[in-house]
Structure 1
């Protein structure tokens, strides 16, 4: 809108360019600023200039939640799809309507989860994780606030002010010591913790240091071979530049029966997506176990550590995988749902003690 007038010339020019390439769309989605759709005359004007039927011009004004977009598209595009497919059955949008209610509802139960990360100036970097946390909170009829904690300047005070902690994945040395400190704090103070990819690796390092391996670290960050509890497996050295050491895609894992991880999933065989290079060095399991962490899931052949947990904590679970990729707004991932449940229990217990 310029001077309170909707300008359609940019859209008309774009459509002319498409026709020049031999592309004749059946539908054109027109984005507009503001929350009110333009008058029908605007769509008619674009239709005349573009050769697209008026009903194929979909006006998409701004909405206050992304979950309203499918509802808007279904409403605007429904007649066009029915004509195109010959199927006039209206789609069932009940779940999307429920999501909109979840996203706009004010819940009595509220919790704060600390996300210990290094790219805190760009929340979109961790969008899959924050959305997975939202879905998990909705599953427990609660509302979550993300407290961004800079991994390079993390303090005990910041960690003590949240109900649970998530340490996400990442590459490189920067911020790793802060993430190790966060995992150690949660391990020591029984703060609900979910480690993802690098978040599992720093948890293992924290445990190994607590278990007597004072210089425990990751080969990625320059740890000496004898101290590298996170390492490149034999045969992988020298292949980093080719990508041959990256573990990508779905991998199966077998969970220890009776473990917190298995109880959270409700099964002992799972498949999760991966994107990482370094693995847990099982030669240091004695120190890791002495520090309070045990392996709760591994690859079917036992060579790769996939999950760890702290048996003495109410909820301290970490995985080498990326479970946030399997979370859905309609279906919270078990690991995130378990974290939220533990955080709510801790919150109630803490308030009771106060």
Structure 2
């Protein structure tokens, strides 16, 4: 049976970072509660092919999909809210679009035509969107356009979406515009002019919003909604307010109270049976409101000034804490300055996340040393696991042990790149990306947490534990708790005579969901609570 998808396009205005991603994910969650199959797409107008080489300070974390694509962090929101695994194709960038068009031009696909923005670039954009709709067999495809209306780099995408609406038909494409309504204390009132101008800018591209979602610090009044409806030419019931809330997971409930789902279903004629059922989601939100007891976790990283750099880890900790009926309090410890015992001793547990580059490495290694000596639960993820191995190697007498990523001349390269990887020169080509299977050793912390013999987790790294040192490390007390099914690559390490000391080469945080917390995070916080 051929499923003809309906499209919901989410654009943003006034300022960036107002929550388009959370809004799009929340709308998806509401539609899922009607029993609809929903897919999501994030359009990023930057020229990078993917998010893999972007600085976390500029762009937040890089989210990795099951099929190994390095994407925008909004795909993480989509997966957590929709409880689905999205393909890497769900992140469309200008770089991907232009590269595809240029490759086709080089192969003569355009039969000598002068290749232009319209129709060739816009056709490629539409083709990529429709491909996701077809492969996912979704009934609704939510397309979020990154940036704000008026950005020059976003214009080809808006034009493509204008064409998509005309080609698919009015009843099959809906536009939702997310804006910001500021409150001026000096004037004592909300100001609607930014929303008016943003909507006018959107109209200048040929697009008319069907719904306007107004972000604000506090709830806006009914007269303000009426004013926006009047000046922006939308129905009053299509002016929705999304004020700041304690938890991002409350947003679907806030939107649902204002009948967003009902309006969308009527506008694009979706076939649903019954009303939305967000009762399970409401329970999740309530569980996240717990204030006591509190577990204090210190995250030791070099990008801690921007929490979005560790978005999935933060959320995974919250999911696990709520599952245990507890609250997690995260302390951010920067490795850009020397770490002391005093900075670490107030935490119930320590987590060392992934990362790249030498800066801050010795601070991470010190954190691993502290946790090992003081018997504090320690969770090392990716580079965090590698720092645990380096620290342990030094502890057992391999003085100067290191990773060849940071010290090419180390006498004990306990972390190294595999020989077949060393021959690859292309940026990103040496990385192990996406889902790989892992065989667990019975009786280990990992095996008890997963309650399975074989698991699958997502990776994003170049360097591995050097097998030449594996026997020596194991003899001294390091436990190889998980390996690739062929036993060649080490995936999980633990430590004898320690309450909870686990490092994994993969990124478990990418698979955590508010309704299905990740077992390793649950086990970690259980140990911290003791």
- The answer to whether TM tops 0.5 is yes
Find the partner of 2:209 among 13, 21, 25: 25
1:237-248, aligned counterparts within 5 Å? Answer: 237=422, 239-248=424-433
Structure 1 residue 309: Cα displacement: 0.8
Change (3 A) 1:212 1:287: farther
Q: How does 1:153-164 map to 2 (within 5 A)?
A: 153-164=338-349
Q: Tell me the residue number matched to 1:349.
A: none
**Structure 1: which 5+ runs fail to align?**
346-354
Distance 1:238 1:175 in 2: 28
Residue 127 of structure 1 deviates from its aligned partner by 2.3
Find the partner of 1:63 among 225, 235, 245: 245
Structure 2 residue 80 is the aligned partner of structure 1 residue 80 = no
Contact 2:432 2:461 in 1 (8 A): yes
Q: Deviation at 1:185?
A: 2.4
TM-score by length of 1: 0.90
* CA deviation after TM superposition for structure 1 residue 42, in Å: 2.5
Shift in Å, 1:277 = 1.0
**Paired residue secondary structure (1:16):** helix
2:402–2:410: 8 Å Cα contact kept in structure 1? no
Distance 2:203 2:352 in 1: 49
Identify the match of residue 184 of structure 1 among 369, 389, 399.
Answer: 369
Q: 2:487 aligns with which of 262, 281, 302?
A: 302
CA distance in 2, matches of 1:221, 1:208: 16
Aligned counterpart in structure 1 of residue 477 of structure 2, from 285, 292, 312 = 292
Contact (CA 8 Å) 1:110, 1:145: kept in 2 or not? yes
Q: Following TM superposition, where does structure 1 have runs of at least 4 consecutive aligned residues deviating by more than 4 angstroms?
A: none
- Counterpart Cα distance in 2 of 1:334 and 1:242: 33
Structure 2 counterpart of 1:339: 524
Match of 1:261 in 2: 446
| TM-score normalized with structure 2 length | 0.61
Match of 2:299 among 115, 136, 145: 115
Contact 1:199 1:318 in 2 (8 A): yes
1:118-152 deviation line (CA, Å, top 9, x unaligned): 22322222222122112211221112222223334
Asked if the contact 1:210/1:291 (under 8 Å) is kept, the reply is no
- Residue 9 of structure 2 is matched in structure 1 by none
Partner secondary structure for residue 391 of structure 2: helix
- Give the Cα separation in 2 of the matches to 1:27 and 1:97: 24
Pair 343,283 (structure 1): closer, same or farther in 2 beyond 3 Å: same
Relative to structure 1, is the Cα distance of residues 309 and 277 closer, same or farther in structure 2, using a 3 angstrom cutoff? same
1:223 deviates by: 4.2
Cα distance in 2, alignment partners of residues 110 and 64 from structure 1: 17
* Structure 2 alignment gaps of length 5 or more: 1-182
SS in 2 for 1:242: coil
Tell me how far 1:48 sits from its aligned partner: 3.0
Kindly report which structure 2 residues correspond to 1:1-354, keeping only aligned pairs within 5 A, or say none.
1-2=183-184, 3-34=187-218, 36-39=219-222, 41-76=223-258, 77-84=260-267, 85-87=270-272, 89-107=274-292, 109-151=293-335, 152-224=337-409, 226-237=411-422, 239-345=424-530
| Deviation by residue 1:142-167 (Cα, 9 ceiling, x = unmatched) | 12222223334222233333211111
Q: CA RMSD in A?
A: 2.0
Q: How many residues align?
A: 342
CA distance in 2, matches of 1:7, 1:267: 55
Alpha carbons of structure 1 residues 186 and 292: separation in structure 2 relative to 1, 3 Å: farther
Report the Cα distance in structure 1 between the residues aligned to 2:257 and 2:425, rounded to whole angstroms.
Answer: 49
